[in-house]
Amino acid sequence: DIQMTQSPSTLSASVGDRVTITCRASQSISSWLAWYQQKPGKAPKLLISKASNLESGVPSRFSGSESETEFTLTISSLQPDDFATYYCQQYNTYPWTFGQGTKVEI
Amino acid sequence: QITLKESGPTLVKPTQTLTLTCTFSGFSLSTSGVGVGWIRQPPGKALEWLAVIYWHGSEYYSPSLKSRLTITKDTSKNQVVLTMTNMDPVDTATYYCAHRRVELGLDYWGQGTLVTVSS
């Protein structure tokens, strides 16, 4: 299985901060990586597909990038609605695997 | 508008078989490129992918659970069914179904259903 190592596990930040979350794949996954946002008691919401393609309706403060097997989710200016847990997921190879999550808290 | 909703028992006993149904609308599972997957999340833990089925009938499973899982589709009813045998308390989780299109992530999710395994 491809391991997805996500860091940090918890991130404390303030409104307006620039936030970066990293996900490293144990082997090449090309660009087949998605980012999700999950709020307590809710289903995950797809933010980004194919490493950097923003889903329709997702604010432009969210962006994704890649460098070989390292993937990054950036929130350019953290808003109150962004406090949540974020997960990466590779879908290059079965079994699909998720990172362990990053909780963004105040 | 694409919607999905999971249904099934909220409580199962150890060793029993769990059957979950995902009923969806807004898309057809006979459309090229479309799939429906199942993902679970134990309380306070990360997401875990379980299985996916595609428009052409191909199925893929988590290797660690493959012997216990079966995913099927009923295109006429707009349903996907997941069965998991030999349930154990460690299988207690919220189970989600989700839509995907090839090359994209899981773009529409059901609300999830919490399944507790306890005697």
Rounded percentage of chain A residues whose pLDDT exceeds 90: 99
Cis peptide before B14 (omega within 30 of 0): no
Tokens (6 digits) for B65: 């659970």
Residue A102 near chain B (CB below 8 Å): no
Candidates B106, B108, B111, B114: best to mutate against A (most CBs of A within 10 A) is: B106
For residue range A6-44, what is the model confidence (pLDDT) as tens digits?
A: 999 999 999 999 999 999 999 999 999 999 999 999 999
| Exposure class string for B1-22: b at 16+ Cβ within 10 A, else e | eeebebebeeebeeeeebebbb
- Give the closest-approach CA distance of A4 to chain B in angstroms: 12
Task: State the pLDDT at residue A106.
Answer: 84
**Which tokens belong to A43?**
């289903």
- pLDDT tens track for B72-86: 999 999 999 999 999
User: Are residues B65 and B84 in contact, defined by beta-carbon separation less than 8 angstroms?
Assistant: yes
Measured over the CA atoms of residue B56, residue B62, residue B67 and residue B73, the dihedral's sign is negative
B101 and chain A in contact, CB less than 8 A: no
Q: Is B30 helix (H, G, I), strand (E, B) or coil?
A: coil
Residue with tokens 């930040």: A13
Three-state secondary structure call for residue B89? helix
Q: Distance (Å, rounded) from C-alpha A95 to C-alpha B52?
A: 10
What was the pLDDT predicted at B11? 98
Nearest to B39 by CA among B10, B68, B6: B6
